[in-house]
Structure 1
């Protein structure tokens, strides 16, 4: 009997084993209740966020339209022969009715067709820069004017500017296969018919600055652009590509052989018509410029340096002085 009682005495390791065995069914039950694959776990979903543009897509959009803004600044500024600066302010996704609510009553709004999607986007410009643009294209100095509704002639002139904007948009968006075509101006009452008011639009906001005026330019894309184009944009613009040193060297050498237009010229100024009428060989025309004012060395129409004309041997040259900012 004493041997049997002694045999019933449990050691510490046996006691631990009993406790582990007692807990095992609960642990196994908890494991059976948990899903084997954590990806199969149900997650809350908000249908109001369906079709939202990701942060990666928005960065790609900003990169693309920064290029558009720079190109439009240089090309339209050269065409107007005046300071013209375009800057991307923001890119956001908002319902179309919210975009409409932001449009001032006195503004220029037009429809722009996107090919090959056969979709319509909306371009809206504040009227503040319009008088300066029109005055420049009519040969004036670009003076700011009173905000009012455009005449038929002024509307036709501004439409030619919109066509330049569409051309630059097409050049910037060519990598994603989109081209922009100006259709016609839209009255405020017609805007709501261009796309469903509840549709989510991609809205790009630009600031336009001139010497005498500034204002905003907004562009609203329909949802079809987000659904069919943006994923391609992310793949094309955010993929990191690297070339080997030999390839980079060859590319730099080939680019260095490209010829670009250069000119050494005085800054723009105005001369009275009666002074030009009385010109004859040997006459001296006095410019309204100080003698200390340097000329400008321009490449492809863009001023790079203040410079002074010099001679080096049998060739003309330019002594570069100040760097344009």
Structure 2
């Protein structure tokens, strides 16, 4: 295998053992030297080693860790906003917490839905895509009872009546509105469509489609449950890259800017109040009030007032006097 243009004295012909050594090096093996044979020539051309990894087609379109962190941050904001709004609207402690964000096939999402559950379709604009919102039925009786003027007692798990379903749909519309506010940076708005029966859920999107599933925990005083939201693949394919870019830039503030923002926020004034927990008084008792009269509160004398910041109860407290000023002695922080 010599070349006709080689210079005299330079033999470029490879021997069989040198050819074998080259093939072994290309396959990532150590060259084998037979007994009684000379080692391969030191000036033999080096073959670069290549590391081959198997490719999994099931991971195609998988959301990256940066995207998942951006999604969690965005929906933490949604959970806090919804907690504050519904606590004020229901006049009762209400807490929403993001539990997890994962990517699963739609048929797996359907398999997790309990037989007794509230499921509805939500339209995403401007993508004209359909997402699925599912709420466990355990918190529903408590929410409905609060909206009807009750104490928010837990009820028996059962199918909703038409009136109860209409009441609960108003809560779903508020959830969609808060989702739209939180997802505004990525240009998405959420619009409640209608409740879906169990037999209709599988027709909302292909069962094999990989969905982005967000899991939230909903807590009230008398009940708790999960709220799940499934997005179609078109959402992750079209807007998640913008989400990562936006939030990455927001996190890249230098220390001086962060310190200046912290000083500015430290001077911001927020509403605060020291008050007793909310209670209900019969309208007849108020109608019969006259001066002087005594109005008895339906609570024990040992109940301590609450220190509320922006309408959210943060501490148990006692009213005190400091010179000519009134004040509050803070106690335990409320969970």
Q: TM-score range by the shorter chain?
A: 0.7 to 0.9
Among 244, 253, 260, the alignment partner of 2:255 is 244
After TM superposition, give the deviation of residue 238 of structure 1 in Å: 4.7
CA distance in 1 between counterparts of 2:52 and 2:26 reads 17
Listed as ranges, the gaps of 5+ residues in structure 2 are: 1-13, 29-45
CA distance in 1 between counterparts of 2:125 and 2:332 reads 45
Q: Which structure is higher in helix share?
A: 1
* Residue 273 of structure 2 corresponds to residue 269 of structure 1: no
Alignment correspondent of 1:121: 131
Number of equivalent positions: 303
Give the structure-1-normalised TM-score: 0.82
Secondary structure at the residue paired with 1:113?
strand
Alignment correspondent of 2:179: 169
Matches within 5 A, 1:185-224: 185-224=195-234
Secondary structure at the residue paired with 1:241?
coil
Give the root-mean-square deviation of aligned CA atoms.
Answer: 2.8
Alignment correspondent of 2:33: none
Change (3 A) 1:36 1:152: farther
Among 89, 94, 106, the alignment partner of 1:84 is 94
Give the conservation status (yes or no) of the 8 Å contact 2:276–2:306: yes
After TM superposition, give the deviation of residue 36 of structure 1 in Å: 7.1
CA distance in 1 between counterparts of 2:260 and 2:98 reads 34
Change (3 A) 1:175 1:275: same
After TM superposition, give the deviation of residue 287 of structure 1 in Å: 1.4
Change (3 A) 1:29 1:106: closer
Among 81, 103, 106, the alignment partner of 1:96 is 106
Which deviates the most, 196-205 or 282-291? 282-291
* Residue 301 of structure 2 corresponds to residue 291 of structure 1: yes
Give the conservation status (yes or no) of the 8 Å contact 2:119–2:197: yes
CA distance in 2 between counterparts of 1:298 and 1:88 reads 23
After TM superposition, give the deviation of residue 224 of structure 1 in Å: 0.6
Alignment correspondent of 2:5: none
Among 266, 288, 291, the alignment partner of 1:256 is 266
CA distance in 2 between counterparts of 1:65 and 1:249 reads 25
Alignment correspondent of 1:58: 68
Give the structure-2-normalised TM-score: 0.80
